[in-house]
Amino acid sequence: MKRISSLPGMQKLALDWRRKGVRVGLVPTMGYLHEGHLSLVRKARALVGAGGKVVVSIYVNPTQFAPTEDLSKYPRDLKRDLRLCRDAGADVVFTPVDGDMYAGRSTGGYSTYVVEETLSRGMEGASRPTHFRGVTTVVAKLFLLVLPEVAVFGAKDWQQASVVRRMVQDLNFPLRVVVATTVREPDGLAMSSRNVYLTPEQRAGATVLSRSLREVRRRVRDARTGVPAGDLERQVAEGVAQVSEARLDYVAFFDPETLMPAVTVTRGTQMALAVWFGRTRLIDNGRL
């Protein structure tokens, strides 16, 4: 396994692979890897085959964090990440640095961003207004540097995957976006690098996200007809309010393809929620 930090170095290798017809899969990450990321690496390997190349990018992208967010304290452990990538079968770990990715940004020398204007508006976009501009920009740059034929994203960030897929469609990137199943802890909590911020008490309470999903799914499946979204929003808000230190940011019910809000919730509707625990914000989502 190779580690590459240079942007021209990565792009040169990618062009070389392309000339030789090598299939390339990309798993974009911000590091501090867990089993969820590793399942994406294995998925990428299965998609490109033994003769293909799997690239894992590790880059804590500053443009997707608002000034008030956790950029400086975002967890990092590159040594461990490199070992995990090697064990999971990655061929290259791409570790660009800010000075190269956004050269000259602080002095106005970097001024190009990619903005998706519809799917990125609600939910995460409403709570974090500059977030998706940063995500689409860095993902577009990674696509141009790594030239993958397939890129694998996790279903936990359903809206992110939908926004990236729309960008790929709208800007004609010649690649396929694959969304892989969320990996969960035994008690149901979706794996996330941010889980490490939780105190033991918050960690115990954090199961409220997956529990809310399960309870709503059960209610929707038991109902003969659809359930009004407002009723389910109240149910989730009441459930979260019972958990010490938990504060609901949003819960949303929507069409999984268009992300349009659902007024009546039925089987197949997507549900997403975000919950604060102190200064840590966790998200989860699933198909009902």
Among 10, 139, 179, 288, binds ligand PAF (CB under 6 A): 139
Whether residue 34 lies in the annotated active site: no
Among 64, 136, 202, 210, binds ligand PAF (CB under 6 A): 64
CA neighbor of 56 nearest in space, from 151, 140, 179, 155: 151
Shortest distance (Å) from residue 254 CB to ligand PAF = 19
Indicate the residue among 45 and 128 with the shorter CB distance to ligand PAF.
Answer: 128
Binding span for ligand PAF by CB under 6 A among 26-34, 175-183, 249-257, 263-271: 26-34
d(CA 168, CA 170): 6
Binding span for ligand PAF by CB under 6 A among 23-31, 106-114, 178-186, 267-275: 23-31
Residues 6+ apart with CB under 8 A from 65: 71, 74, 131, 134
Output phi, psi for 9, to 5 deg.
-60, -45
Indicate the residue among 30 and 252 with the shorter CB distance to ligand PAF.
Answer: 30
Shortest distance (Å) from residue 134 CB to ligand PAF = 7
Among 48, 135, 168, 189, binds ligand PAF (CB under 6 A): 135
Does residue 30 interact with ligand PAF by CB under 6 A?
yes
Question: Contacts with ligand PAF: how many residues (CB under 6 A)?
Answer: 10
Burial 11-48 (b: 16+ CB within 10 A, else e): eebbeebeeeebbbbbbbbbbbbbebbbbbbbbbbebb
Question: Is 77 buried (19+), middle (13-18) or exposed (0-12) by CB count in 10 A?
Answer: middle
